[in-house]
Amino acid sequence: MITRFLVQGLDRNLRLFILLVLAIGIVLPLLNQVVPADSVFYVPVWVLQPMGKYLCWASLALAVDLVWGFCGILSLGHAAFFALGGYCMGMYLMRQIGTRGVYGNPILPDFMVFLNYKELPWFWNGFDHFWFAAPMIVVVPSLLALAVGWFAFRSRVTGVYLSIITQAMTFALQLAFFRNDMGLGGNNGMTDFKDILGFSVQADSTRAVLCFTSALVLAIFLVISAAVVGSRFGKALTAVRDAESRMRFLGYRVEGYKLFVFVLSAAMAGVAGAIYVPQVGIINPSEFSPANSIEAVLWVAVGGRGTLIGPVLGAVLVNWAKTYLTGALPEYWLFVLGALFIGVTLFLPRGVVGLWGQFRANKARPA
pLDDT tens string 297-349 = 999 999 988 899 999 999 999 999 888 888 877 888 888 878 887 888 787 77
**Does any domain span residue 314?**
no
Mean pLDDT over residues 283-305, rounded?
A: 93
DSSP codes of every residue in 154-200? HTT--HHHHHHHHHHHHHHHHHHHT-GGGSS-GGG-EE---EETTEE
Contact partners, residue 266, CB within 8 Å, separation at least 6: 63, 78, 81, 141, 142, 144, 145
**Does any domain span residue 338?**
no
Q: Structure pTM? A: 0.94
Query: pLDDT value at position 367?
Result: 52
pLDDT tens string 138-171 = 999 999 999 999 999 999 998 899 999 999 999 9
Please, what is the Cα angle at 308 between 339 and 301, to 5 degrees?
15
What three-state secondary structure class fits 148? helix
**Does any domain span residue 347?**
no
Query: pLDDT value at position 54?
Result: 96
pLDDT, averaged across the chain? 90
Query: pLDDT value at position 167?
Result: 95
CB neighbour class for 122 (10 Å; exposed up to 12, middle 13-18, buried from 19): exposed
Among 206, 162, 154, which residue's Cα sits nearest to residue 45?
206
**Does any domain span residue 241?**
yes
Distance separating alpha carbons of residues 233 and 125, to the nearest angstrom: 38
Look up residue 283 and give its DSSP letter: E
Please report which confidence band the pLDDT of residue 356 belongs to, taking 50, 70 and 90 as the band edges: low
Query: pLDDT value at position 2?
Result: 63
E-assigned strand segments in 165-291: 190-191, 195-196, 199-200, 282-283
Q: Which residues pair with 283 in a beta bridge?
A: 190
Query: pLDDT value at position 64?
Result: 97
Look at residue 355 and tell me whether its pLDDT is greater than 80.
Answer: no
Look at residue 353 and tell me whether its pLDDT is greater than 90.
Answer: no
**Does any domain span residue 125?**
yes
Query: pLDDT value at position 79?
Result: 96
Q: Give the number of domains in the chain.
A: 1
**Does any domain span residue 74?**
yes
pLDDT tens string 91-105 = 999 999 989 988 889
**Does any domain span residue 366?**
no
**Does any domain span residue 351?**
no
Query: pLDDT value at position 225?
Result: 94
Please, what is the Cα angle at 322 between 318 and 324, to 5 degrees?
120
More confident residue, 367 or 180: 180
Please report which confidence band the pLDDT of residue 365 belongs to, taking 50, 70 and 90 as the band edges: low
Mean pLDDT over residues 218-237, rounded?
A: 93
Look at residue 280 and tell me whether its pLDDT is greater than 70.
Answer: yes
In this prediction, what percent of the chain has a pLDDT beyond 90? Answer: 71
pLDDT tens string 254-276 = 999 999 999 999 999 999 999 99
Containing structural domain, residue 111: 2-290
More confident residue, 108 or 4: 108
